[in-house]
Structure 1
């Protein structure tokens, strides 16, 4: 058996970026693009044979050459001349060999940067438990091998798949390195890098997790919560799913100012024998930063009273309480969002079309010889969602087509044997359209006029009841609690107009409000139990629990009844 060919020790191959080959300190000219692509395929399968058909498919894809085997052989010969200039033309290649299974490029692992990267990452992860600082240094050195996208400039499914595979390995190494450096207290210098990495790898929740943690440890709690909000919006908009449980749990822990999230001691500090959680009398910087967002500062809450328990949301049992929420219909307001206005019929004020607009609309049919009539009627049909108007627009379109088709058969003097149908079509589309548009611009829209007066009266009455209940909550909160204002989940005799008390209702009531999903309902209940009651619905915005648009849209029904404080015995 012949000895296994080996590569000259001075030859180095790089694919973590643009394909390059070095002999000592000199970069070699690899020839035309297709020849470089052939070398890229061989390097992706280093030390393994690749068949000629596989090389043709990878390099030429759906447009292979007629004599693919000969073309590949020509490019392999060109690569041999570049990589082994001292080889005799008739002697077999030592670097690129031909086997029954195909061409094989023999490269020691230390001479190919991709394999060297994988080897160094494995070594770093192996020493992570014993020497995390050294592991971080080794990971950074391995990541420094990356210059650009793998095999930049080469196109095709094979190269795209390789890029995705190596990008996944690079992202995993980055996550491991950043985790180690966060444990060393280097959160401040990692924030800019994490922001860039989240933009480069938007689907990796671990990078978003590390970004939120680093921001929180820098005392930037609001930005950490904003990072979670951005992540949630991205996953919902792109895939229709909530972020993973680990990301959701970190969001809750940040809202609670969990002491376990505090930054660890510096790497050069002596190890502490006491637990990492600070005592209740000495709040951490993160807790002090979170104090303005809570009614009860986290420093006054002993850590033992704020336990962090990872419970999957789907496994938390809801209270079996009969619940029949009082329906509410918001009063017309420009500040209400569309999903709240859709909760019930809302009487919009009727406004007659101004005279100058009516005159312009009525002039369009004669100026366009009836062609514009169908377009105007179709506009009103779409705006009012009326089938009758859609049928009328279709009729005008057919009449207009009939008129112009007949006029196309006229002779030079304008005579046609179908003059009567043409005249009828013209009169119907022009004068009939003018009359129709005059009626449309003068009469109220059917869906607006369909709101019966009793519904309007009921909505006004309910709004008045809500205002009365709010006055009672502000002046006599004890009486409001006895009357169970804002508790649609409990039986009561006082009609508060459909108010919902943020400080008392269970989460399944909150989840029934428009724009509030079960996750945010659970979040609201968790925060009020750990950080204290809400002073007003605006606290939901201040604490980052709901978007401002949702809170303002629900302003008609949300209320925060003050929680009674027990009077200590003398």
Structure 2
């Protein structure tokens, strides 16, 4: 037996077992599998699959979906005996479901790690979040970004990844690794400047300050203020203004230590 199948959606869609990658065949076969993975074990009706695969379904679309499902079953359960019931991609009225265990899907493992890290001390959280972020091979459901059925799940996973980046940065600041956190936070702030609460700016400024770069930290906060006023016609949040005042005063509570980095927002 080749063993249990593991699925990857944090990047291009993949399926593999102990013997290596499994063949997923053509684009619509892959789309069916991705659609079932998005459903997270729930049944997807055949009619929904038809509507998701074609803007203008051809005659015989239902039969085509059944053909795709049969081929996928052969691909992801290559050792299943003839006529034995499917174990993974099951028929369940009025359609199909993928009964993969949560830890068999990289996105589910990622989510579990982000939740786990929230309750861990900083050093352990840093290790767990490094492993979680390493699961990403590219954009979630990369080849299905233009599909309406994938959009909400892509957005949800992307938001969770940004939260993980911020939580990792917070853990790094607490463990004295501020200088190491700066490059990732610079990229994070450049790509996502308007995150809720301006977390990207706040964390970057704090990391720079703790790395001994007070002038750079203040420059980041000035840049954030100018961008908020110019691009959004908004004043900086009270948190950003308070951080600027604290940096100017070299407030003792900004030094690394328990509780000095405000808690990140909870994972959804």
Q: Could you state the TM-score of these two structures normalised by the residue count of structure 2? A: 0.86
Structure 1 gaps of 5+ residues are 1-7, 266-275, 277-570
- Determine which of 4, 8, 13 is the counterpart of 1:14: 8
Are 1:256 and 2:243 counterparts?
no
Which residue pairs with 2:266 in the alignment? none
Q: Counterparts of 2:213 and 2:53 in 1: how far apart (Å)?
A: 50
Q: CA deviation at 1:88?
A: 4.8
Structure 2 gaps of 5+ residues are 261-268
Provide Cα deviations, 1:174-229, integer angstroms capped at 9, x if missing partner: 21221121011111111111111122322221121110001112222222122123
User: Which has the higher relative contact order, 1 or 2, with Cα contacts under 8 A spaced 6 or more apart?
Assistant: 2
Partner of 2:118, secondary structure, is helix
Which residue pairs with 1:84 in the alignment? 77
Matched residue pairs, number? 255
Q: CA deviation at 1:73?
A: 1.4
Once superposed, what is the RMSD of the aligned Cα atoms? 2.2
Are 1:166 and 2:128 counterparts?
no
Partner of 1:22, secondary structure, is strand
Q: CA deviation at 1:68?
A: 3.1
Q: Counterparts of 2:244 and 2:46 in 1: how far apart (Å)?
A: 53
- Determine which of 115, 125, 143 is the counterpart of 1:122: 115
- Determine which of 222, 226, 231 is the counterpart of 2:215: 222
Partner of 2:202, secondary structure, is helix
- Determine which of 7, 20, 45 is the counterpart of 1:26: 20
Q: CA deviation at 1:59?
A: 3.3
Q: CA deviation at 1:244?
A: 2.2
Structure number, greater radius of gyration: 1
Range that drifts further, 93-102 or 10-19: 93-102
Question: Alpha carbons of 1:235 and 1:69: their partners in 2 closer, same or farther (altered >3 Å)?
Answer: farther
Which residue pairs with 1:177 in the alignment? 168
Provide Cα deviations, 1:117-149, integer angstroms capped at 9, x if missing partner: 1122222222x2xx3312221121122111111
Residues 124 and 139 of structure 1 are in contact (CA less than 8 Å); yes or no, is this contact kept in structure 2? Answer: yes
Which residue pairs with 1:45 in the alignment? 39
Q: Could you state the TM-score of these two structures normalised by the residue count of structure 1? A: 0.42
Provide Cα deviations, 1:365-420, integer angstroms capped at 9, x if missing partner: xxxxxxxxxxxxxxxxxxxxxxxxxxxxxxxxxxxxxxxxxxxxxxxxxxxxxxxx
Question: Alpha carbons of 1:233 and 1:9: their partners in 2 closer, same or farther (altered >3 Å)?
Answer: farther
Residues 59 and 156 of structure 1 are in contact (CA less than 8 Å); yes or no, is this contact kept in structure 2? Answer: no
Which residue pairs with 1:198 in the alignment? 189
